[in-house]
Amino acid sequence: MAQEVNDRLILKFEELQSRYDQLNEQLSDPVIASDPNRSIGITKEVGRLRRLIYPFKTFRQVRTELEDARTIVSDRSQDAELREMAETEIDSLRARHDELLESLKALIVTDDDAAINSVILEIRAGTGGAEAALFARDLFNMYVHFSEKKGFSVEVLDQSGSEMGGFKEVVLNVKGLEVFRVLGYEGGGHRVQRVPVTESQGRIHTSAATVAVLPEPEEINISINWDTDVEEFVSRSGGPGGQNVNKVSSAIRLVHKETGITVSMRDEKSQHKNRAKGRRILMTRLYDHLHRASTAERDSTRKTMIGSGDRSQRIRTYNFPQNRVTDHRIHLDLYSLDRIIQGDMDDLVEALQTYDKEQRLENL
């Protein structure tokens, strides 16, 4: 089975190599090179493929050297000293070959995700009232602490608090190298089992929150006419009476007419700032909506592997009495909830990445 995967992997890279060579030939055509509408798109694809092709060229070179060394060793007609030299090289070449092969596996299955260095992360309290809002706050703190440990930057774009200090909803922008490859598995339904602070009889309650992780590519090739495609509603933000946040109509609600995607933004006192943030989030949600529709086949494959990221899909349970986190997609139990909820998520994320890589390789 492993050899079949390796064979499919190499065949896939050879197809990409052929595509890369074809594109470079097109760029050398004066007619295409002088047409920005065609050359820009080709240049971008060449740049993306280059990240894959260069490591593949190195792998092929090492594989050739390994095969040559094995041929010399097995050829009895060769000079004995030459055969001995080749034999001493085989172990190091084999180790290098296997190391490069594993790196190619990681490259081929994470290339699209690795190119995304900014995400919009949305957390919403679900069933469970005040306890669900407190759980949403716990998830917020977990992701913030984890992101900081990873060296990612975190910006709170919008938040809606609850009476006990929880979050009804909070929207973050997280930026950092390959951030989507790290946080992209968090989308879905999260469930908590614990004794709420409001429970006087010590009974365990179950509450829920949902998380969405939306990629924010550097370039979103989506055209929106903000005057005709989107309805805008302006109102006063909620907040303590007498403050500017209540006196000025600064809250913005945007509705994309065609898809019905809605964004409400009330975090800033400035209407202009809320509008700018709202448009940014709307663009990201619309990109995610259209991207999922255009890659339905890929998403269908991912649903059989790591999960679709849909809010309706329950992905994880946090059981405080047992200090256990269960990820239902990969049937993983970790008895370190106390550390995970504080942002020590590396073991969890690495397990998801490993499983996802293996499954994607099987579906090459």
pLDDT tens-digit map of 181-227? 899 999 999 999 999 877 777 789 999 999 999 888 666 667 788 98
Residues 98 and 126 in one domain: no
Q: Which are the contacts of 322, defined by CB distance < 8 A and separation ≥ 6?
A: 335, 337
Q: Which are the contacts of 44, defined by CB distance < 8 A and separation ≥ 6?
A: none
Residues 215 and 349 in one domain: yes
Residue 94: CATH number of its domain: 1.20.58
Residues 181 and 52 in one domain: no
Residue 310 pLDDT level (bands cut at 50, 70, 90)? low
Residues 344 and 286 in one domain: no
Please tell me the total count of domains within the chain: 3
Question: The whole model's pTM is what?
Answer: 0.71
Residues 206 and 317 in one domain: yes
Burial class (CB in 10 A: 0-12, 13-18, 19+), 146: buried
Indicate if the pLDDT at residue 76 is higher than 80. Answer: yes
pLDDT confidence of residue 211: 95
Helix or strand holding residue 248 (H, E) = none
Last residue within a domain, chosen from 74, 98, 114: 114
Indicate if the pLDDT at residue 118 is higher than 80. Answer: yes
Is residue 305 assigned to a domain? no
Amino acid at 29: D
Residues 103 and 135 in one domain: no
Is residue 308 assigned to a domain? no
Is residue 303 assigned to a domain? no
178: left (phi over 0), alpha (psi -120 to 50) or beta: left
Asked whether 40 and 32 are in contact (CB, 8 A), the reply is no
Residues 207 and 350 in one domain: yes
* Residue 272 domain boundaries: 230-293
